A and B are shown apart, each in its own frame.
Chain A
Amino acid sequence: MAGPMKMRATLAGGYTDVRVLMTHPMTTEQQTKGQPHFIQNLTVKVNGKTVIEGEISQAVSRNPVFSFRLKGGAKGDQIEVSWLDNKGDTNKTETAVA
């Protein structure tokens, strides 16, 4: 069961600042003697349209925190961030631009 996520999207001088926090162990091969468990794919959507696709690795810190910037944006835009890890677990969170 994936742990909680938290996201904040705020208008900041011409762009939308998106900060997303994810609960995930992001363990490495070395730590787990070959059974790493980490997020591989990240997707950021604005009003349903994918704007950022990320491929990340076991070299991203545990409980990852990402900041992104979206062009322009207006109050109420729906932002969704989802992740998928190497064991098939997924989670996503949504928020409206404040």
Chain B
Amino acid sequence: MMQKRRGLLHAAGALLLAGLLKPMAALAAWNKAAFSSKTSAEALKSLGTPSAEASGGILIEAPQIAENGAVVPIEVTSNIPGTTSIVVLVEKNPYPLVAKFEFSEGALPFVKINAKMGETSDVRVIAAAGGKHYQATKEIKVTIGGCGG
């Protein structure tokens, strides 16, 4: 029996290496429902955070106006004590949910990302702390640079 099982493991390993089997994709959590939501309300419902209280403890540093929507730098800091996660959404994107980060012991609730924005829109950030949810928004204008050539 051992012999057979080891043979099977080797085969699976080989398939894995050949990239035919999806290795960890199925295992790692990725909230497909939330990331496929077409509105931020729907995305937040799928994330289990239907409502969030406005809070000045969330700082969003981002340019007021972006020369191009392909790369919009967004830096988020949560000063709310006990923050365990930060969610970033761009309201007017086809799929508003951009990213979700969970922070455990050893990490500060801070992240800087480059996001894509289809057009001028509000960026909404949700922070979870002590079982409650808080939010802040900031509008970023997106323009067309260059000669359009």
Contacts and interface: CB of A to CB of B under 8 A. Distances in A.
A–B contact via C-beta, under 8 angstroms: yes
Nearest to A29: B94
Contacts of A29: 94
B110 A68 contact: yes
B107 A66 contact: no
A61 B35 CA distance: 16
Interface of B: 19, 22-25, 28-31, 35, 70-72, 75, 90, 93-95, 97-108, 110-116
A69 interface: yes
21 contacts: A29-B94, A40-B28, A41-B30, A49-B106, A52-B101, A52-B103, A53-B29, A53-B101, A54-B101, A55-B100, A57-B99, A58-B116, A60-B98, A62-B70, A64-B114, A67-B75, A67-B110, A68-B107, A68-B110, A70-B106, A86-B25
A60 B112 CA distance: 11
A89 to B, nearest CB: 8
Interface string A39-60: 0111010100111111111111
Contacts of B19: 88
A90 interface: yes
A57 B98 contact: yes
A51 B112 CA distance: 16
Contacts, number: 108
Interface of A: 15, 28-30, 40-42, 44, 46, 49-62, 64-71, 84, 86, 88, 90
Contact of A51 (B25, B35, B107): B107
Contacts of A64: 113-114
B111 A67 contact: yes
A61 B70 contact: yes
A6 B107 CA distance: 20
Nearest to A65: B114
Contacts of B115: 59-61
Given A41-B30, A71-B107, A88 B116 contact: no
Most B CB within 10 A of own CB, among A42, A51, A56, A65 = A56
A53 B108 CA distance: 12
